[in-house]
Chains A and B, each alone.
Chain A
Amino acid sequence: MKATQTTHRRRLLLIATFGAAVLAAMMLNTVIGSVHISLPELWSLFLQSSDSANADILWKIRLPRVIAAVLGGAMLAVSGLLLQVFFRNPIVGPFVLGISSAATLLVAIVMLSTLSLGFAGVSPYVNTLAALTGAYGTMAIILLVTAKVKSGVTLLIIGLMMGYLNGAVTSILVAFAEREKIKQFVLWQFGSFSGFSWHELFVLSTLGGLLLCGVYALSKPLNAFLLGEEYALSMGVNIKLFRFLIVLVACALAGLVTAAAGPVAFIGLAVPHMARLSLKTSDARLLIPGVLLLGAAITSLCDLVARQLFSPVEVPISAITACFGAPIVIGLLLKRKTSL
């Protein structure tokens, strides 16, 4: 028992470290940039309102982006964790059910087709709305299918197929689109946490916060679900309700982030592994906070690198997350003797 207590304390300590990393990353992201804001200056900017250029940079550009990256990273990572447990498959991410491809398709329709002529000038939120429609439309379809289909694998394949279909239509749109529009669209496809308004952030944090609390409430059935649906059923889990809830929450989280920031890749796939392997547990009650904080910290750091690496040119964050994440996951896996 003593040994279990020590490992438990070690895990809590590790989660606290993840938390500290989030704060550190946020701090770095706030001060570093094409315009450097020193710590004393930051302090004074926080305390008193000012009309200086730096105040504008801080309140209109830096802070929204810092918060968006942290929120988005946390939500994507938790969404990935949920689906990995649900499908009991380590190579599943939040977009496996077609959330991002549907969002991309809708955005492609708006950005690439002639429809955009009517919309583009009207509202800057058109892309966000289109992506949200795509993501939640897919989610509705998936929830309907979840109620009908019994096997998780079938659901997984249906999600993959929907992804291919969406991709196919998107590629047709790209083929017919004008060159300038394509570049714009491709950049959107890489995802970015820039350009968030406080209003968007408010929506993202309120809904995201509620969903994340909801996820924690699912900890117990999530743990039972590690043994598969039949064991979960035999232990007293209401499988039908749980399946519905888990798909709903995972898609809702991924959909929100995708709508606001585009399909940011890899966080949802890699972070659950990193958290699981460093915490050495699959207990959702520890893993959920661990994944949430680690997702926030890593996304935030990746965003910093994306901004600074080839400054003033900004690299897509998805490129950084993949370059960062892939070697780490491979390394962690190779260090273990057994598979996940």
Chain B
Amino acid sequence: MKTAVVMKMQDLGVGYDHKAVVSHITQEIRQGQFVSLLGPNGAGKTTILRTLARLLAPQKGTVFLDGKNLQDYRQEELARTLAVVLTERNFFGMFTGFDFVALGRYPHTGFLGRLQAKDIQKTQEALQMVNAADLAGRNFHELSDGERQKLLLARALAQEPEIIILDEPTIHLDLKHRLEVMTILRRFCRHQGISVIASLHDVDIASKVSDIVAMVRDSRIIGWGEPEDILTEAMVTHLYELDAASYDRWLGAIEMKGDGASGKVFVVAGGGTGTVIYRLLAKRGFAVTTGVIHENDIDYYVAKAVGATLIREKPLEYISEQSVARANRHLNGNTLVIDTGFPVTDLNKSNLDLLKTCMAERKHIFTLRPEAEARELFGDDYEKLIFCQDELNILKALASHN
């Protein structure tokens, strides 16, 4: 079901004075949509937002709000349709949480701004919507950044707008408040039918809350669409020019790559047993090769995202001869091998054979497997394994080994 279009940008060009920042934007925003602007610093996200909020005149093209040219709105009329949340959270003066949120009633009150019963009710509702009813009596200046941000959201809501435009609403917030702010914004969209347009820095959070993401780079919108559709590893890498990290569409997260300076390690994993050790090895700077991993395994996605060399197999198939051969070629150079204690089944028992070959070649194998299980799998040779209790112990063992 498609909702009504609330905002429409037609060949919009934004910028300051005569300097164009982003040009040729033609897009629509619908009622209740959560639109995130992503992109590197200085790409023009704020400039776009300021233009959509009419804090800045467009250089070219037109913005339509409810079918009417944004520039034709009277100031109060616009304030009843569109609210903003800017990055500033320090304000001059003394007010309680309630006073602050009640300022949002401005376009609805009379000449002296006296609050009527309805205004008080709307203010209290707004406070409740952002889980800040307890902040009503507190002094604004004694609140934390996160609490202030909730009040800023409530203030915007108290304007009863159709659209709320937010510039980096999660900046400088702790994790709890960052997530809370996103939850609140999503609530605005779902329950109040408000369209939210926000610039965000966390790609992973944006992908999980947005209906639409807009990628801003090189004076253009290089992508506009549903995050499931357009937030691919290649797009995110290009958008931010990432080299030491990458975004994984399936994990919905950013993983950090290792620089490989600490040496080479071969990890035999599978069934999700490798995820923690991959990240840890990447963090400590090891060049990781791993295999043989099935393509539907979470180990596959994490290994790929941290930049490991992967020997892979098609999902739910027996590990093929070719894959084993490839793994062995990689193992040739590696003297350090990690066994993550993966569950052994018919599909992946070739991986067990890989380990046995390594043992025969007197390679150092660090394992997370319990000794009893190892004895069962490897027979008497099991004593050659280096047993480690957990991933951190493996790293310690690796360090002492080097």
Contacts and interface: CB of A to CB of B under 8 A. Distances in A.
**A and B assemble together:** yes
Contact of B93 (A4, A234, A282): A282
Contacts of B360: none
B175 interface: no
A281 B103 CA distance: 13
Given A3-B137, A223-B103, A283-B99, A236 B78 contact: yes
B55 A230 contact: yes
A233 B95 contact: no
> What secondary structure prevails in chain A residues at the interface with B?
loop
Interface stretch (B107-115, B197-205, B330-338): B107-115
A230 B107 contact: no
Interface in A15-42: none
A205 to B, nearest CB: 24
B93 A235 contact: no
B76 interface: yes
A238 interface: yes
B287 interface: no
Interface string A76-102: 000000001100111000000000000
B366 interface: no
A173 to B, nearest CB: 38
B159 A217 contact: no
B91 A226 contact: yes
Interface stretch (A56-64, A158-166, A332-340): A332-340
A233 B141 contact: no
B95 A281 contact: yes
A146 to B, nearest CB: 19
B400 interface: no
Of the listed residues B55, B75, B109, B159, the one surrounded by the most CB atoms of chain A closer than 10 A to its CB is B75
A266 B338 CA distance: 76
Contacts of B380: none
Interface string B80-108: 10111010100111111011000110110
B142 interface: yes
Given A219-B112, A339-B141, A238 B75 contact: yes
A71 B19 CA distance: 51
A336 to B, nearest CB: 9
B71 interface: no
B53 interface: yes
Nearest to A225: B92
Interface residues of B, number: 36
Of the listed residues A84, A219, A220, A340, the one surrounded by the most CB atoms of chain B closer than 10 A to its CB is A220
Given A89-B92, A220-B109, A226-B93, A338 B141 contact: yes
Contacts of A10: none
Nearest to A4: B98
Contacts of A119: none
Contacts of B96: 4
Contacts of A338: 139, 141-142
Contacts of B93: 85, 88, 226, 276, 282, 340
A281 B76 CA distance: 25
Contacts of B107: 235-236
Contact of A220 (B98, B111, B142): B111
A238 B106 CA distance: 12
B86 A220 contact: no
Contact of B94 (A228, A237, A281): A281
B365 interface: no
Nearest to B84: A234
A231 interface: yes
A243 interface: no
B212 interface: no
Contact of A285 (B78, B95, B98, B113): B113
A231 B95 contact: no
B402 to A, nearest CB: 53
Interface in B42-78: 53, 55, 75-78
Nearest to A216: B112
A269 to B, nearest CB: 15
B92 A90 contact: yes
Contacts of B80: 236
A179 interface: no
B79 interface: yes
Contacts of A282: 92-95, 99
B16 to A, nearest CB: 12
Contact of A234 (B82, B99, B120, B142): B82
Contact of A224 (B106, B114, B120, B137): B106
Contacts of B78: 234, 236
A230 B165 CA distance: 13
B112 A220 contact: yes
Interface in B232-249: none
Nearest to A227: B91
A220 B115 CA distance: 11
A234 B86 CA distance: 10
Contacts of A237: 75, 106
A168 to B, nearest CB: 31
Contact of B159 (A88, A226, A235): A235
B76 to A, nearest CB: 4
A226 B88 CA distance: 12
A339 B77 CA distance: 35
Given A235-B104, A236-B78, A280 B94 contact: yes
A84 B94 CA distance: 13
Interface of A: 1, 3-4, 84-85, 88-90, 217, 219-220, 223-224, 226-228, 230-231, 233-238, 276-277, 280-283, 285, 337-340
Top 4 nearest A-B pairs (CB, nearest first) are A282-B93, A236-B79, A220-B113, A236-B76
Given A236-B75, A236-B80, A281-B94, 9 more contacts: A217-B111, A220-B113, A227-B103, A228-B88, A234-B55, A236-B106, A281-B95, A283-B95, A283-B99
26 contacts: A1-B120, A4-B96, A4-B98, A88-B91, A88-B92, A88-B93, A90-B92, A217-B112, A219-B113, A220-B109, A220-B111, A220-B112, A223-B113, A224-B106, A226-B95, A233-B75, A234-B53, A235-B107, A236-B80, A236-B106, A237-B106, A281-B94, A282-B93, A282-B99, A285-B113, A338-B139
